[in-house]
Amino acid sequence: MRMVFRWFGQGNDHVSLRHIKHIPGVEGIVWALHDVPAGEEWPMDKILEVKKQADEHGLNIDVVESVNVHEDIKLGLPTRAQYIENYKRTIEKLAKVGVKVICYNFMPVFDWTRTELYKELEDGSTALFYEKAKVENMDPIELVGKIADNPKYTMPGWEPERLKHLSNLFEAYKNVTEEDLWNHLRYFLEEIIPVAENNDIKMAIHPDDPPWSIFGLPRIITNKENIRRLLKLVDSPYNGVTLCSGSLGANPKNNIAEMVREFADRIPFAHIRNVRVYENGDFIETSHRTSDGTVDIYNIVKAYHENHFTGYARPDHGRHIWDEKCRPGYGLYDRALGIMYLWGIWDSLERAKQEGFSCSR
């Protein structure tokens, strides 16, 4: 397991590369050019600047998260051709600086969705929270007109720039089915996987978060069966998945450890985080410790260890603790604690293996 840490760039994050270097066992950053709009080719000078900054701290830049997919590709529009060409050129550029994995998603309109950014937990820390009924009873198109006058209607990720185009996007997706989205994803993969193979970069799709349809939009990377289907769309070791225990774990029917064992050779990148799922379908993110949430983090790490996982892993979202002012879900302190918990499990499994014991559960 190769531990990496999400970094949003100088001037765009309170976490510095020096901070990241202090965390035991972290060898690289997970990064992106966040100021480049989806669909545009990444400029080489900006890529080289990130490499220079990371090199100064002895950190690799092997994992990019994300090279975002333009909506026209997801919609299957004729204009997707140029955006796919831009994506190919970006893959080629990233290969030149040593990138090995590109994480991306194929979620229509919205990326991850939450209803509160700082919901308080019992211990006084705060975390990202999803209230299922609120999302199910919300008509986002009706709300667009209300938001300007009443900010209480906004939700995380509803940036003013996105809201300006929300009505048009929903209209464009009105007749797009799950099967349509599968076909558009297949087309995208058939175009880019040969380029990824030629440049030794593994593409790793991120599951939908949460793993079900929201606002009537199709979502397809939601469970074991659909991941199995994804991997068959283009049967190449360069067509893989970013297995996110938090995204998939929001549905208690998803057994993440089983997925690790089945798809181990197609997981170049792992997101490891915990969530606590309530009976009504709400969920909140918690510390990485298994007993704090619904997701069996111990068994997940054990599954990776049993399968001799040598891919990249990062602690995913964490709580906001010790009065840290930070990007929601991306505090330094709790993610660093999460890393030490993950290493603790891994090291204990390694020791048991060396001494001939079994850490069965």
Residues with a known catalytic role: 206, 244, 271, 316-317, 330
What whole-number distance in Å separates Cα of residue 282 and Cα of residue 316? 19
The answer to whether 276 and 284 are in contact (CB under 8 A) is: yes
What whole-number distance in Å separates Cα of residue 254 and Cα of residue 262? 13
Report helix angle 297-306 to 256-263, nearest 10. Answer: 10
Q: Rounded to 5 degrees, what angle do the CA atoms 89, 94, 99 make?
A: 145
Which residue type does 325 have? K
The answer to whether 72 and 108 are in contact (CB under 8 A) is: no
* Category of 175 on φ-ψ map: left (φ > 0), alpha (ψ -120 to 50) or beta: alpha
Query: Taking the CA atoms of the chain, what radius of gyration do you get in angstroms?
Result: 20
The answer to whether 137 and 153 are in contact (CB under 8 A) is: no
Q: List strand residue ranges (DSSP E) for 245-358, in order.
A: 269-272, 275-277, 283-285, 312-315
Distance of CA 212 to the CA centre of its chain: 15
Which residue type does 289 have? R
Question: In the structure encoding, which two tokens stand for residue 32, read together?
Answer: 């992106």
Spatial CA neighbour of 315 closest among 334, 339, 296, 332: 339
Q: Across the strands, what pairs with 98?
A: none
Question: What is the per-residue DSSP string for 12-63?
Answer: S-S--HHHHHTSTTEEEEEE--TTSPTTSPPPHHHHHHHHHHHHTTT-EEEE
